[in-house]
Amino acid sequence: MGNCTSGLGIVQNRINLDNSDEVIALCHSILGIDNDLTENEDYFREDTVKLGFKSEAHRIVYDNLNAGYRGKDLIEQIAKVIISQDYFGECELLFEGDSVVFVYGGNKNN
């Protein structure tokens, strides 16, 4: 059994992967699963607010955009932030046509 403590959840959107505004909004929705990245300044990097970011989530998206990630690649990079945390248990990111689904929760198979 894994050590997941989050409830089960899903983020599902129909988006145009070529529309950067839609992709960025979805990235913020995925990161919004973790309130520490959006609301808890104790978990922000020391200079996040000083640099003008609203939250650590905004900074993570900006950093990945700055690194050249776009569209599907950007969404995959952002999802890894949540996937890497045991708290969220088993996670899966699926792309099907114009739908993107991110599922989290449940126990990880170890």
Is the residue at 99 inside a domain? no
First and final CA of the chain: distance in angstroms? Answer: 7
Domain that holds residue 45: 20-87
Is the residue at 82 inside a domain? yes
Is the residue at 92 inside a domain? no
pLDDT exceeds cutoff 60 at 53: yes
The total of structural domains in the chain comes to 1
Q: Strand pairing partners for 106?
A: none
Where does the pLDDT of residue 1 fall: very low under 50, low under 70, confident under 90, or very high at 90 and above?
Answer: very low
Mean pLDDT of the chain: 92
Is the residue at 77 inside a domain? yes
Average pLDDT over every residue of 94-102: 96
Is the residue at 38 inside a domain? yes
pTM score:
0.90
pLDDT exceeds cutoff 80 at 64: yes
Is the residue at 49 inside a domain? yes
Q: Strand pairing partners for 91?
A: none
Is the residue at 26 inside a domain? yes
